[in-house]
Amino acid sequence: MQDERDTQDGLEDHSTKRVVIAIDGLSSCGKTTLAKDLAHHLQWLHIDSGAMYRALTWLMIQKGWTIEELLQHLEDVELELTRENGEALIRLNGQVVRDELRDPRVTEQVSAVSMIPEVRRFLVEKQRAAARNASVVMDGRDIGTVVFPDADIKFYLTADEDVRVRRRHRELLEKGYEIDEEEVRRQIRQRDHLDTTRAHSPLRKAEDAIVLDTSHLSRQEQLEEALNIIRRRLEKITSP
Ligand code: DC
């Protein structure tokens, strides 16, 4: 059902044109939360591309595979995006995977898996296919640069390291993982280093991306700020 606010701000009129919003940035800047909130508000599809890389990493850990073994099995892996009760979910070989994707063991290894070109090809194809017939908000590292270089609106999120460490630490404690803050900091630094320096599709700001620093913004403020930018951009895109 359409959110009442959408009919007031005119954003629902763009259903005739497929719109892609790309959100990229370092780990724990709030990309997925913002993408989810925007998609909910706009009634569009949210795709968390990081969760797709995490799903393959989870499978590798579950099966006890090395990265080479994961690559050997890649073509047989069924990874689908489905929408159930308004929520975008990942089905991995028929099973919904969600909370397990946040397991620190997955976080530790996901950057190594996501730097492999075959893995990226496999997932980028699925990310593009998911947006073929629907307006989407997709978050990740290379959405505005590689997956959708022509995205209608691109955001590049940043936040101070301390803020990112605190956010990720709180999120993990809430999910029941006992981990100390310094370990979270180490993981974030290591992941950011690997994600920005890898040879294939490293994280970088697209030239036309709008930078949004979320350090001092509440969740609601981030949503409002992004919606204001989207409204202005969409007016330009659709006005004759
Ligand atoms: O957003 P996240 O922390 O859930 O992403 C997990 C990892 O997946 C991240 O460290 C790098 C990788 N990733 C990627 O390489 N490209 C994307 N578009 C999204 C995530």
Cα 166 to middle of ligand 1, angstroms? 19
Residue 125 burial (10 A CB sphere; 0-12, 13-18, 19+): exposed
Cα 67 to middle of ligand 1, angstroms? 16
pLDDT mean over 139-143: 97
Q: Describe the chain by its helix, strand, coil percentages, rounded to 5.
A: 55, 15, 30
Residue type, 95: Q
* Packed helices 49-63 and 31-42: angle between N→C axes, nearest 10 degrees: 120
Tracing tokens 């892996």 back to the chain, one arrives at 77
Tokens representing 186 are 């180490």
- Distance CA(61)–CA(125), nearest Å, equals 23
**CATH superfamily of domain region 19-47+102-232:** P-loop containing nucleotide triphosphate hydrolases (3.40.50.300)
Q: Ligand 1 within 6 A of 138 CB?
A: no
Q: Ligand 1 within 6 A of 50 CB?
A: yes
Instruction: Tell me the C-alpha to C-alpha distance, in Å, between residue 51 and each of 5, 55, 162, 239.
Output: 29, 6, 23, 35
Query: Ligand 1 pocket check: which of 114, 120, 125 to mutate, most ligand atoms within 8 Å of Cβ?
Result: 114
Q: How confident is the model at residue 13 (pLDDT cuts 50, 70, 90)?
A: very low
Mode of pairing for the β-strands spanning 87-92 and 79-84: antiparallel
Closest C-alpha residue for ligand 1 atom 13: 50
Q: Ligand 1 within 6 A of 140 CB?
A: yes
pLDDT digits (tens, 9 = 90+) for 54-77: 999 999 999 999 999 999 999 999
Side-chain-facing half-sphere of 58: CA atoms under 13 Å:
21
Q: Ligand 1 within 6 A of 167 CB?
A: no
Which of residues 141 and 86 earns the better pLDDT score? 141
Residue type, 144: G
Cα 27 to middle of ligand 1, angstroms? 8
- Distance CA(36)–CA(222), nearest Å, equals 12
The answer to whether 118 touches 71, Cβ cutoff 8 Å, is yes
Q: Ligand 1 within 6 A of 144 CB?
A: no
Query: Ligand 1 pocket check: which of 53, 121, 126 to mutate, most ligand atoms within 8 Å of Cβ?
Result: 53
Tokens representing 156 are 């590049």
User: Which residues 6+ apart lie within 8 Å of 56 measured at CB?
Assistant: 70, 74, 77, 79, 113, 119, 122, 123
pLDDT digits (tens, 9 = 90+) for 184-212: 999 999 999 999 999 999 999 999 999 99
pLDDT digits (tens, 9 = 90+) for 89-117: 999 999 999 999 999 899 999 999 999 99
Q: Ligand 1 within 6 A of 111 CB?
A: yes
